[in-house]
Structure 1
Amino acid sequence: MASLVLPRAGRAPVVDDDGPVWQLDQRSVPTTWVAVWDALRGVPGVTAGPSAVGEPGSRAVLVPSVISPEPGTSFSEGGRPLEPAHLHSPADTSLHIVLPLERVALVVAQGWAIPCPRAVHGTELILFGPRDEAELEVVTALARESVRWSLARNGVTVFGRRGVAETALRSTAGAPSVAGAASPVVATLAG
């Protein structure tokens, strides 16, 4: 997990906490919005799908194997797949993410996000869409951190290519097979 978050330059975007558009100015250009989505959905262990709570046009990352998430780690309610983050439409470009409380305080203090006005646990944030390449790096790192934290808190981790190969070798040597595991398998969170 990244420990340093540099301050965001300039004033914060104007935000409408009633939605459906949260971030009213300083939005990402379309190519940057796509880059944020690619980084978010590229976290191992998630699938892309519609948000359970996001405004029309929102894209969510979901973990269908988790339907009773730990409190504060998902935007969806129990009985629906874990939804640790969603990206709002190109008309908005902000994201909803979850982070541990100590990270929430830092990210807000450095100007990258505001607490979600509809937050229940204090872990929910509105992360501003990036305005340039430097901000894209910070925003995508925070979005990916959010998803990895939520996965870890819910006991969901994924194997990188190397981990899968190593597990396959172990299972052919008489070790328990990953394919037969009843719950998600623990491995690396890198990426």
Structure 2
Amino acid sequence: MFTLNLPDRPGPGPRTRGPVPHGQLDQIAPTPLQEELWQRMRSLSGVYLAPTHVPYPEARAIHLAPEFGTGPDDAFIRQSREFAHQHPPQDGSLHMTLPPDVKKLVTEAGWGIPHPIQNTQLVFGPRDRDEIEVVWQILLRAYDYARGRIS
């Protein structure tokens, strides 16, 4: 059993836009933190880089090779192998697929909001070193979900 203990995200949530494109408008993650998070994302076992399956072509997406990804259909975006993407630097947020209980935790703790029309969760970009670790833990739950390790 994988647990996720999320601290409450400090301060008010950022302004967002959407549903298409769905993203973050302020409290933007510093570019070095965005890049660090991206490097971590792309280094996960079984992950490959490919274009996103959503109408935000500047987003950088990670997909999971079939032999690694045995999660349920809703662990992937639009019947693809994509389970997460990071928006461009002027936004810095991420979308990822998460199990319903994790989505609820993320929303209640103020780390993100559900996408209004897709099965993904918008997770706000990390504003500092502490927050990158929290966002990373949330991303690892998306990875575990896509791998079929949690439901």
| Band the TM-score falls in, shorter-chain normalisation | 0.7 to 0.9
Contact 1:43-1:144 at 8 Å conserved across structures: no
**Which residue pairs with 1:147 in the alignment?**
143
Structure with max Cα Rg = 1
TM-score (norm 2): 0.88
Could you say if the C-alpha distance between residues 142 and 98 of structure 1 is closer, same or farther in structure 2, counting changes exceeding 3 Å?
Answer: same
Question: Distance between the aligned counterparts of 1:92 and 1:24, measured in 2?
Answer: 6
Deviation at 1:54, TM superposition (A): 4.8
Residues 68-117 of structure 1 deviation map (CA, whole Å, 9 limit, x = unaligned): 9733111133xx4x111111111111101111111111111000010111
1:58 alignment counterpart = 59
CA distance in 2, matches of 1:115, 1:51: 18
Matches within 5 A, 1:46-125: 46-65=47-66, 70-77=72-79, 80=80, 82-120=81-119, 124-125=120-121
Describe the shift of the 1:19–1:145 C-alpha distance in structure 2 as closer, same or farther (beyond 3 A): same
- Gapped runs of 5+ residues in structure 1? 155-191
Instruction: Give identity over the alignment, percent.
Output: 30
Match of 2:131 in 1: 135
Q: Which amino acid aligns with 1:134?
A: D
Gaps in structure 2 of 5+ consecutive residues? none
TM-score by length of 1: 0.70
Distance 1:7 1:25, change over 3 A: same
On the 8 A contact 1:41/1:61 being kept in 2, the answer is: yes
CA-based RMSD:
2.2
Given that 2:70 and 2:148 are in contact with CA atoms closer than 8 Å, whether structure 1 keeps it comes out as no
Greater relative contact order structure (CA < 8 Å, 6+ sep): 2
CA distance in 1, matches of 2:20, 2:91: 10
Whether the aligned pair in 1 keeps the contact of 2:20 and 2:55 (CA below 8 Å) is no
Query: d(CA) in 2 for partners of 1:54 and 1:130?
Result: 23
Aligned residue-pair number: 148
Cα distance in 1 for residues equivalent to 2:149 and 2:18: 28
Question: Which consecutive segments of 4 or more residues in structure 1 shift more than 6 A?
Answer: 66-69
